[in-house]
């Protein structure tokens, strides 16, 4: 079994990737999408989104990060894929799953699932531009308005040359509303030869077990579940190893230490206007799993002065305070 950290625009950036891969259990990350329109992007744009490219394409914990490109022009995507592949990434991922209206209006993300021929053309062009030893992968949803062309889209990606496909088991119309239709991934598996990775609504080890059972996939991609419970990948691995639901989790004191490191990175690496919001954003996710995070969120949700956040972090247990220094 392998576990991959999902790309989530505006949330799972290099800061949170650093922290979550330090917790452990993650085999690979995919970056937030890098939008490609009609130009060859300079290297600094790729580095801004994936600064890990300056360090062998890996997080501080040594976990590979695969840059993800979003666009609809095969030739332009190919040129940009060749450039970022040459910067040391282990491969290039293509976004065919983003449900955002602003992205879909411009023919990107999940909107491309309405045109399997264009999916094929994009992947074929990118595969030809990226060195053979580097992976070209893709992330898709089950469809745009419905899932009637899910198998056709996956086959187009395969025939274009994708080496693996992540399937978010919902359509664009479903958004992020439960449930995720894991059994439809099994339907796709019956038609394609390349590895599939299951994604969507995996919040705990029981969900992971059921997803693997219904989808037939050994490899999982975790997104919101991992952000809400940073120990989730470790719990899934432990539950799988012991063939049961009982697994140790990351307790709140452990989370506090990682929050301290997170805040240190936010303060040192992000613009001042982003800093308070980023800590509140993560606390908002953490409160789903940790009651103390609810208390912290209520305490800080209206604050904007970073000095208040400095004081809160420094008031946490010793591990968190040391991480800030």
Task: Identify whether 29 is a catalytic site residue.
Answer: no
- CB-count burial class (<10 Å; 0-12, 13-18, 19+) for 179: exposed
Q: Which of 73, 162, 168 lies closest to 123 in space, CA to CA?
A: 162
Q: Find the distance separating the first CA and the last CA of the chain, reported in whole Å.
A: 37
Contact 110, 150 (CB under 8 A): no
Contact 241, 211 (CB under 8 A): no
Count of Cβ atoms closer than 10 Å to residue 268 Cβ: 9
Q: Looking at 98, 153, 211, 217, which residue is catalytic? A: 98
| Structure-token pair, residue 53 | 């490219």
Cα dihedral 43, 125, 133, 97 sign: positive
| Residue 10 Cα to chain centre, angstroms | 11
Contact 28, 53 (CB under 8 A): no
Q: Which helix (H) or strand (E) holds 113?
A: none
Contact 126, 120 (CB under 8 A): no
- Give the integer Cα–Cα distance in Å for 261 and 20: 11
Contact 77, 119 (CB under 8 A): no
Contact 58, 65 (CB under 8 A): yes
Q: Which residues are marked as active site?
A: 98
């Amino acid at each position: 079994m392998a576990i991959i950290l999902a790309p989530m625009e505006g949330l799972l950036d290099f800061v949170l990737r650093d922290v979550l891969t330090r917790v452990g259990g993650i085999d690979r990350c995919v970056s937030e999408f890098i939008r490609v329109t009609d130009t060859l992007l300079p290297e600094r744009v790729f580095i801004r989104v994936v600064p890990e490219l300056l360090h062998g394409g890996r997080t501080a914990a040594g976990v590979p990060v695969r840059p993800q490109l979003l666009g609809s022009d095969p030739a332009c995507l190919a040129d940009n894929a060749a450039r970022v592949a040459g910067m040391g990434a282990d491969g290039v991922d293509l976004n065919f799953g983003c449900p955002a209206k602003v992205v879909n209006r411009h023919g990107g993300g999940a909107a491309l699932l309405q045109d399997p021929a264009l999916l094929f053309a994009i992947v074929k062009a990118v595969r030809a531009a990226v060195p053979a030893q580097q992976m070209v992968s893709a992330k898709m949803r089950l469809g745009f308005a419905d899932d009637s062309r899910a198998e056709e889209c996956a086959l187009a990606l395969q025939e274009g040359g994708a080496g693996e496909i992540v399937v978010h088991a919902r359509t664009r119309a479903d958004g992020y509303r439960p449930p995720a239709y894991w059994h439809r991934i099994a339907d796709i598996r019956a038609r394609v030869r390349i590895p599939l990775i299951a994604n969507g609504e995996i919040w705990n080890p029981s969900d992971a077990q059921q997803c693997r059972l219904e989808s037939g996939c050994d490899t999982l991609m975790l997104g919101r579940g991992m952000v809400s419970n940073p120990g989730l990948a470790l719990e899934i691995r432990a539950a799988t190893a012991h063939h049961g639901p009982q697994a140790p989790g990351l307790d709140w004191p452990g989370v506090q230490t990682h929050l301290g490191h997170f805040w240190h990175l936010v303060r040192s690496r992000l613009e001042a206007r982003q800093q308070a919001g980023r800590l509140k954003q993560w606390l908002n996710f953490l409160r789903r799993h940790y009651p103390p995070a609810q208390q912290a969120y209520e305490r800080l949700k209206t604050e904007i002065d970073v000095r208040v956040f400095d004081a809160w972090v420094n008031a946490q247990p010793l591990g968190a305070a040391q991480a800030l220094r």
